[in-house]
Chain A
Amino acid sequence: MKGMYAVYRKEMSHYFVSPVAYIIVAVFLILTAYFFNRLLVLIIQEAFQASFEEGQFGGGAAFDVPSLVMRNFFGVLSTLLLFLTPMLTMSVYAEDRRRGTMELLMTSPVTDLEIVLGKFFASLTLLVIMLLPTAIGFAYMLRHAEPAAPWRILGSEYLGVLLLGGALLALGSFFSSVTESQLIAAVLSFGAILLLWVLDFGSQAGSTALSSALEYVSVFRHYDDFTRGVIDTSNVIFYLSFIFLGVFLTVRSVDSMRWRRA
Chain B
Amino acid sequence: MIEVKDLTKSFGDRTAVDHVSFVVNRGEILGFLGPNGAGKTTTMRILTGFLPATSGTAQVAGFDVFNDSLEVRKRIGYLPENPPLYLDMTVAAYLDFVARIKNVPAEKRQARVEDAMEKTNITDKRHELIKRLSRGYKQRVGLAQALVHDPEVIILDEPTVGLDPKQIIEVRHLIKGLAGSHTIILSTHILPEVSMTCDRVVIINRGHIAAIDTPANLTQQLKGGQNVLLEVGADQNAASAAVREIPGVRKVTAESAGGNGRVALMVETSPGQDVRSQIAARIVGKGWPLYELRGVNLSLEEIFLELTTDDSEHAAATSN
Contacts and interface: CB of A to CB of B under 8 A. Distances in A.
Nearest to B47: A107
B111 interface: no
A14 B86 contact: yes
Interface string A92-113: 0000000111111111111100
B45 interface: yes
B52 A101 contact: no
B85 A107 contact: no
B86 A100 contact: no
A252 interface: no
Interface residues of A, number: 28
Nearest to A16: B88
A119 to B, nearest CB: 13
Contacts, number: 77
A9 interface: yes
B88 A18 contact: yes
A259 B100 contact: no
Interface string B64-79: 0000001101101010
Nearest to B99: A6
Nearest to B76: A107
Contacts of A99: 84-87
Chain B interface bracket (under 10, 10 to 19, 20 to 34, 35 or more): 20 to 34
B98 interface: yes
Interface in A107-126: 107-111
Contacts of A38: none
A250 to B, nearest CB: 18
Nearest to A114: B101
A258 to B, nearest CB: 6
Contacts of B45: 103, 262
Given A17-B89, A262-B45, A262-B51, A107 B78 contact: yes
Most B CB contacts (10 A, CB to CB) among A7, A103, A104 go to: A104
Contacts of A108: 73, 98, 101-102
